[in-house]
Structure 1
Amino acid sequence: MVSERARSVDSFLAMDVLERANEREDVVHLEVGEPDFDPPEAVFDAAVDSLRGGNTGYTVARGKPELRRAIAARYDRDYGVAVDPDRIVVTPGSSPGLLLALATLVDPGDEVVLTDPHYASYPKFVRFLNGVVRTVPLRASEGFRPRAAEYDRTVGPDTSALVVNSPANPTGAVLDGETLGAVASVADAADATVVSDEIYHGLSYGAAERTMLEFTDEAFVLDGFSKRYGMTGWRLGWVVAPPGYAEAVNRLAQHVLISAPNFVQDAGVAALATDESWLADVRDTYRRRRDRLLDAVADWGLDPDYAPEGAYYVLADVSGLPGSSVDVADLFLEEAGVAVTPGADFGERASDYVRLSYATDEAAIDEAATRIDRLLDRLG
């Protein structure tokens, strides 16, 4: 019999849509956050050289020392923050890092505060650990940026963690230093710990990116190579743990993950060593795509009343269309051949939206715009 814990975890709707879309021909994919650019050539070269050098066995669970030193150097270089490499645990992607961080913090019955909307996996992981989800409401009229006062009202004596995500999935909101500092203060006063998901750092459009580590050492920070370097399938991320927590995270990693792929860790070192000036072109490309997609969404009459500041997602307001966001996503896929993600996966306050990813080329965005425009015209 399937366990109650496994039954409690709902499907990841974006992946369900992707699976269905892949069974069809001639589908425009706007459902998943899959960068369409390659990593720098030096990353490929490092991976190939490492493979040919025989680096195909296990590493220590916490990751190769040279990669952890390179990650620590990045925090010093980009944010002026000193991080001891011994606080860093390398993971096969940032999602396992999130699960390790929450597993280190959450006992059964503990509360974890999320924003609403939020990334789809957050509440699933909390409930998998028998934790309790509490939410801070976000508003489109405020760019889906949280108010620190809402965190203060939501935490309680059973709160063990506060999760923040900037730039955010699915909203694209970027949190300023004042907000991050205030959330850190709320967590400190409540004897809780911040878990900061920073996987989209490097992909902001005019908004300054700040790491939670600028405001407190007592936070878990998650990041990785998937989004910024276009390395989704390489599966490489990391966790920066607060002082005193890294050994607990490492013990869990030893059992759950064993280690991140050996040769991919060498590719990560090469990625961090690249001159990231090329990222400016990537951001400019995403900005153009965002603006193109926002124009299309407005033409459809689904304007969400905000502009994403980072990541590569737009929420389209489908509350005026028949049915739920799941129904609308089904309609777009079946009748227009455009795959989008139902907002229902991102929280109650996202239930009137569908998420569209602009991590694809402008021709695909234009084709999706034409198809959905024709569909909505037919619906009247």
Structure 2
Amino acid sequence: MVSERAADVTPFLAMDVLERANELDDVIHLEVGEPDFSPPDRVVETAVESVRAGNTNYTAARGKPALRRAIAAHYAREYGVDVDPGRVVVTPGSSPGLLLAMAALVDPGDEVVLTDPHYACYPNFVRTVGGRVETVPLRPADGFRPRVPAFERAMGADTRALLLNSPANPTGAVMDGDTLADLVALAADHDATPVVDEVYHGLSYDVAEHTVLEYTDDAVVLNGFSKRFAMTGWRLGWLIVPPDLVDAVNRLAQNLLICAPNFVQDAGVAALESPPERLDAIRETYRERRDLLVEAISEWGLDPGYTPQGAYYLLADVSDLPGDAFDVADLFLEEAGVAVTPGADFGEQAADYLRLSYATDADAIHEAVDRIDAVLATVER
């Protein structure tokens, strides 16, 4: 018999679309956030050297000291923030890190406030630990950026955490420093903890990125190597937690995760020490791809009225096309051979949208645009 907890977990539609798309021939994948770059060469070399050196045994649950120090140094270098390496907990990917954060903070019945649209899996993490989800609607007129008064209206006596994401999936919105500082203050007023997913940091375009740690130590930061360093399958992430949560999170990690892979942690040190110029070039490539899709979506008449400032996603408004977003996604997949994700995966406010990922090469994006052009030419509006 399936538990109620498992039965309440909704499918991850992007992965469902990927599975369907993989059963077809000649499909262009714009549905998943899978960078098409390779990790830095030194990262691969370090992993191989570490395996050959015999580093395949367990490590401490919170991670190898060298990696925790490298993560702390990253925050000093990038943001001018002093992080005690003792507050860093290394995880086998950022998703397990979010599970640890929710398990450490949320009791059954506690409320977690998050935006709508939001990353598809967030509500499932909250519900898995018995929490309740309260959402704050975001508007395309605001560029899908959070507004503090909307959060204030959503919070109450049972609010235990704010779950934030910047740069955001699926919108690409980036929070400015003033908004982040105000949300930190609002959380403190409600005795709630900000949990901030910063996994797309490093992938913003012409806007400043701010870590929540610039404004408080009483927050949980979630980050990892998958997006910035194109290390999705390496499964390596980290948490930075308030001092009073360190022991609890470490105990949870010992029991639920054991540890991140030993040799992959060594590769993580190499990634954090890689030259910044490489990321500059990758960021510019993503920007060019974004602009291709922004222009195409406008020409299709599907422009939601904003330009993503970060990550590698954007939303297309398909409310004027026949059927719902699921129907349009099916049309694009079956008739154009282009896989995209229905917006319902990301909350009620995204139900009339499709999410398109530009984590694929420009030639494929050009081909996808041509194919969708041809299909839309046959659709009556």
TM over 0.5: yes
Over residues 49-97 of structure 1, what are the superposed CA-to-partner deviations in whole Å (9 max), with x where a residue is unaligned? 0011011111111000000000001111111111111111101111110
- Aligned counterpart, 2:48: 48
Could you tell me how far apart the structure 1 residues matched to 2:325 and 2:88 are?
A: 39
- Aligned counterpart, 1:325: 325
Deviation at 1:2, TM superposition (A): 0.8
Higher mean C-alpha displacement, 319-328 vs 185-194: 319-328
Over residues 247-297 of structure 1, what are the superposed CA-to-partner deviations in whole Å (9 max), with x where a residue is unaligned? 111111111111111110000000111121111111110000000011111
- Aligned counterpart, 1:207: 207
2:55 partner SS: coil
* Aligned 1:5-154 pairs, distance under 5 A: 5-154=5-154
- Aligned counterpart, 1:252: 252
Could you tell me how far apart the structure 2 residues matched to 1:12 and 1:95 are?
A: 13
- Aligned counterpart, 1:285: 285
1:378 partner SS: coil
For the pair 1:375 / 2:375, whether they are aligned, the reply is yes
Could you tell me how far apart the structure 1 residues matched to 2:322 and 2:13 are?
A: 19
Could you tell me how far apart the structure 2 residues matched to 1:86 and 1:326 are?
A: 46
For the pair 1:223 / 2:223, whether they are aligned, the reply is yes
2:203 partner SS: coil
Deviation at 1:130, TM superposition (A): 1.5
Could you tell me how far apart the structure 2 residues matched to 1:344 and 1:228 are?
A: 26
Could you tell me how far apart the structure 2 residues matched to 1:110 and 1:104 are?
A: 12
2:160 partner SS: strand
1:120 partner SS: coil
Could you tell me how far apart the structure 1 residues matched to 2:21 and 2:64 are?
A: 38
TM-score (norm 2): 0.99
Could you tell me how far apart the structure 2 residues matched to 1:326 and 1:130 are?
A: 29
Could you tell me how far apart the structure 1 residues matched to 2:266 and 2:112 are?
A: 35
Could you tell me how far apart the structure 2 residues matched to 1:81 and 1:321 are?
A: 48
1:379 partner SS: coil
Could you tell me how far apart the structure 2 residues matched to 1:6 and 1:87 are?
A: 31
Deviation at 1:123, TM superposition (A): 0.6
Deviation at 1:17, TM superposition (A): 0.5
The letter of the residue matching 2:340 is V
The letter of the residue matching 1:188 is A
For the pair 1:197 / 2:197, whether they are aligned, the reply is yes
TM-score (norm 1): 0.99
**Once the two structures are aligned, what percentage of the paired residues are identical?**
68
Could you tell me how far apart the structure 1 residues matched to 2:181 and 2:33 are?
A: 28
Deviation at 1:330, TM superposition (A): 1.5
- Aligned counterpart, 1:185: 185
1:136 partner SS: strand
2:263 partner SS: helix
* Aligned 1:296-311 pairs, distance under 5 A: 296-311=296-311
Could you tell me how far apart the structure 2 residues matched to 1:254 and 1:25 are?
A: 44
Could you tell me how far apart the structure 2 residues matched to 1:247 and 1:319 are?
A: 48
Could you tell me how far apart the structure 2 residues matched to 1:21 and 1:56 are?
A: 36
Deviation at 1:303, TM superposition (A): 0.8
Task: Output the aligned Cα RMSD.
Answer: 0.7
Over residues 219-246 of structure 1, what are the superposed CA-to-partner deviations in whole Å (9 max), with x where a residue is unaligned? 0000010000010111100000111101
Could you tell me how far apart the structure 1 residues matched to 2:167 and 2:366 are?
A: 25
2:222 partner SS: strand
Could you tell me how far apart the structure 1 residues matched to 2:131 and 2:379 are?
A: 43
Deviation at 1:304, TM superposition (A): 1.3
Could you tell me how far apart the structure 1 residues matched to 2:246 and 2:227 are?
A: 24
- Aligned counterpart, 2:276: 276
Which structure 2 residue ranges, 5 or more long, are not aligned?
Answer: none
1:99 partner SS: helix
Could you tell me how far apart the structure 2 residues matched to 1:344 and 1:323 are?
A: 14
The letter of the residue matching 1:348 is E
- Aligned counterpart, 2:357: 357
2:295 partner SS: helix
Deviation at 1:329, TM superposition (A): 1.2
Which structure 1 residue ranges, 5 or more long, are not aligned?
Answer: none
